[in-house]
Structure 1
Amino acid sequence: MRNLNTFLLTFFAFMAMTSAAFAQNVLGPVGGQTSGQIIQLFGLLSVLAIAPGILVMVTCFPRFVIVFSILRAGIGLQSTPANIILISLSLFMTFYVMSPVLDEAWETGIQPLMAEQINEETAFQRTIEPFRGFMEKNVRDKDIGLFTELAEERGQNVQNSAGVVDIRVLIPAFMISEIRRGFEIGFLVVLPFLVIDLIVATIVMAMGMMMLPPSVVSLPFKILFFVMIDGWNILVGNLVRSVI
């Protein structure tokens, strides 16, 4: 329960701090207590709308949900498991994988802000750093190079004097890296089911049953195969291990 509260509160405060900083600029200097109230107010109003986008941008959620969707299509099931099951499983797997990052962001950025030990700008920098480290470990150099090159073509400076890449470049590069990995893993997952489809189609055609769709015959065999090898255990375990 503590980890779940940390997960929710971290996203809540992370997305609200921008609104708090804007209010401070408009209303003038405010105390730590007022800043905390602003964070709670604006966070409560915006977290439901912004949280899904933040979740997709800076976590491994896209990788998980893409693989599960390809798995369902490879088996040949249209709506089983239901979308809410696949999304919920992806969400809680993301929470499981990202727990160390979220704990670090909470302890170094959000807690000191709530205790009035640091200001909003410092809290934002400390909160984003654990996510930056996670993305840098999982992003491809080729994707970073693509967005760096595009930014330079537009006359934008995306690196500081220490060579740290701007977060505006890192996030889109990380997203396309995660999408690519999702499709790579999905391709390997769907191959056994494709082999089953080919074998069943060959047998059905050889028996002269032209009017019988091979997918109708192969579906029970694909489900049986996936259950017999304990597919969910293998797939989920390897997906979690694939995240650095």
Structure 2
Amino acid sequence: MKKVKIIIILILFILSFNQIFSQNTIQLPGVDIQINADEEVNTLTPTLTILLIVTVLSLAPGFLMLFTSFTRIVVVLSFLRQAMGTRQAPPNQVMLALALFLTIMIMFPVFNGVYQEAIIPYNQNEIDYQEAIQISWQQFKDFMISEIVAHKNEDDIYMLSSSMNIEIDNIEETPFQILVPAFAISELEIAFKMSILLYLPFIIVDMVVASILLSMGMIMIPPILISLPFKIMIFVMVNGWDLLIGGLVRSFVGG
């Protein structure tokens, strides 16, 4: 009898347990993703707009490096630190923050053009989402082509187009899949050219210090240990940060 009572109690407990949780079942909200094609201007639903924003934010690092001036700035700053031999000074966080805000300053006309010509008209239902995307891309496309032309790196576009068997008669008609990598290659070429000019004076200081130590017989002292303070002193005396940042900004069209 005791076993029967225990079994009956367990069955009643399980039934009551299931009933409690069945009453408190959480209902997930429905997600409606659609494009309002019935309206005069095609707009995205709030759900799809949020999804698009999340997607853009997840791809933001790639856009930042390949669509803007960020690549050239951060590469030049990295070469400067290596040329001076300061290792972790300035820290990576400082260099990335400086490169980011310089990018915002240089790219502000492009960002403002996207906001004024694409985002505001789209929010006011004056243009559809397709036209807004096209206008936004055109703003970045004009910037990238202007930089490539200004630094005479059109050969990067023709090299990639010939590799893909795509004939380009007018550089303004360069498709997306060719223009983006061509712009990235162009920025790397410009950054390396600027880095060579940065390296030369520091190499001269290293050579002079190494020659003096060798002539004095101090071969056991690392030359970098003696040359580092001199390189920092010379960089500060010539107001190196202003010259470097000013040169970087002026290297961009309209900078």
Whether TM exceeds 0.5 here: the answer is yes
Q: Distance in 1 between matches of 2:239 and 2:178?
A: 40
Q: Distance in 2 between matches of 1:28 and 1:95?
A: 34
Which residue identity is paired with 1:82? P
Identify the residue that residue 225 of structure 1 maps to in structure 2: 234
Unaligned runs of 5+ in 1: 1-22
Q: CA deviation at 1:161?
A: 9.2
Contact kept in structure 2, 1:101 and 1:130, CA below 8 Å: yes
Higher mean C-alpha displacement, 32-41 vs 195-204: 32-41
Q: CA deviation at 1:46?
A: 2.9
Which residue identity is paired with 2:206? D
1:50 to 49, 52, 59: 59
1:169 to 175, 178, 188: 178
Identify the residue that residue 4 of structure 1 maps to in structure 2: none
Identify the residue that residue 72 of structure 1 maps to in structure 2: 81
Identify the residue that residue 97 of structure 1 maps to in structure 2: 106
Contact kept in structure 2, 1:158 and 1:165, CA below 8 Å: no
Kindly tell me: are residues 168 and 102 of structure 1, through their superposed partners in 2, closer, same or farther at Cα, counting changes over 3 Å?
same
Q: Distance in 2 between matches of 1:47 and 1:161?
A: 30
Kindly tell me: are residues 233 and 39 of structure 1, through their superposed partners in 2, closer, same or farther at Cα, counting changes over 3 Å?
farther
TM-score with structure 1 length normalisation?
0.82
Aligned residues: 216
Q: CA deviation at 1:82?
A: 0.5
Q: CA deviation at 1:111?
A: 1.3
Query: RMSD of aligned C-alpha atoms?
Result: 2.2
Contact kept in structure 2, 1:36 and 1:114, CA below 8 Å: no
Partner deviation per Cα, 1:99-136 (whole Å, 9 max, x = no partner): 11111111111111111211111111111111111111
Q: CA deviation at 1:33?
A: 9.6
Which residue identity is paired with 1:106? Y
Q: Distance in 1 between matches of 2:92 and 2:38?
A: 45
Equivalent runs, 1:56-135 vs 2, <5 Å: 56-135=65-144
Partner deviation per Cα, 1:178-235 (whole Å, 9 max, x = no partner): 0110011011011110000000000000000111000000000000010111100000
Displacement over 3 Å in runs of 4+: 27-34, 157-163
Contact kept in structure 2, 1:61 and 1:91, CA below 8 Å: yes
Kindly tell me: are residues 235 and 30 of structure 1, through their superposed partners in 2, closer, same or farther at Cα, counting changes over 3 Å?
farther
Contact kept in structure 2, 1:158 and 1:169, CA below 8 Å: no
Identify the residue that residue 17 of structure 2 maps to in structure 1: none
Kindly tell me: are residues 241 and 39 of structure 1, through their superposed partners in 2, closer, same or farther at Cα, counting changes over 3 Å?
farther
Q: Distance in 1 between matches of 2:43 and 2:132?
A: 15
Q: Distance in 2 between matches of 1:145 and 1:187?
A: 26
Which residue identity is paired with 2:123? M
Contact kept in structure 2, 1:159 and 1:166, CA below 8 Å: no
Identity within the alignment, %: 35
Kindly tell me: are residues 161 and 144 of structure 1, through their superposed partners in 2, closer, same or farther at Cα, counting changes over 3 Å?
closer
Q: CA deviation at 1:65?
A: 0.3
Contact kept in structure 2, 1:148 and 1:169, CA below 8 Å: yes
Which residue identity is paired with 1:142? D
Partner deviation per Cα, 1:62-105 (whole Å, 9 max, x = no partner): 10000000000000011010011111111111111111111111
Q: CA deviation at 1:55?
A: 0.8
Is 1:29 matched with 2:37? yes
